[in-house]
């Protein structure tokens, strides 16, 4: 199975073929697996597909909400509304709290961006 990241976006691949990077998937999985645990490659691949599909589903719904309001930029609140619309409302409160704490930390200069110029 081929890992497609941001390079597939540049090549014009359809959104259904975009995947979160395998390195990110492995890093997230390692946080919950004990240090002596092993993660099979096919397990990482399945998680990669599921996470990518979930992100795509939420993003498409948020985009539809934005289009219905004649907007082009998807905001965090659009993502939360999309999650509610799709029945993931259990997670909206926790994510709302995370977003507000993140914004507060950001305003205090406590957030360090990992993006490279």
pLDDT along the chain (117 residues), means of 10: 43 59 90 91 92 93 95 94 95 94 89 62
Tell whether pTM > 0.75. no
Asked whether 20 and 52 are in contact (CB, 8 A), the reply is yes
Question: What's the confidence (pLDDT) of residue 115?
Answer: 57
Question: What's the confidence (pLDDT) of residue 20?
Answer: 86
Q: In CATH, which of 1.10.20.10, 3.30.1360.120, 3.40.980.10, 3.40.50.1010 is domain 6-107? A: 1.10.20.10
């Amino acid at each position: 199975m081929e890992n497609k990241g941001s390079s597939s976006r540049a090549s014009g691949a359809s959104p259904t073929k975009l995947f979160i990077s395998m390195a990110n998937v492995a890093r997230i999985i390692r946080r919950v697996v004990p240090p002596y645990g092993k993660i099979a490659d096919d397990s990482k691949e399945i998680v990669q597909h599921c996470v990518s599909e979930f992100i795509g589903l939420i993003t498409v719904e948020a985009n539809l909400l934005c289009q219905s309001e004649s907007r082009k930029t998807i905001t965090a609140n659009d993502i939360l509304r999309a999650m509610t619309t799709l029945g993931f409302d259990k997670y909206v409160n926790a994510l709302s709290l995370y977003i507000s704490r993140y914004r507060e930390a950001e305003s205090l200069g406590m957030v360090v961006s990992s993006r490279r110029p």
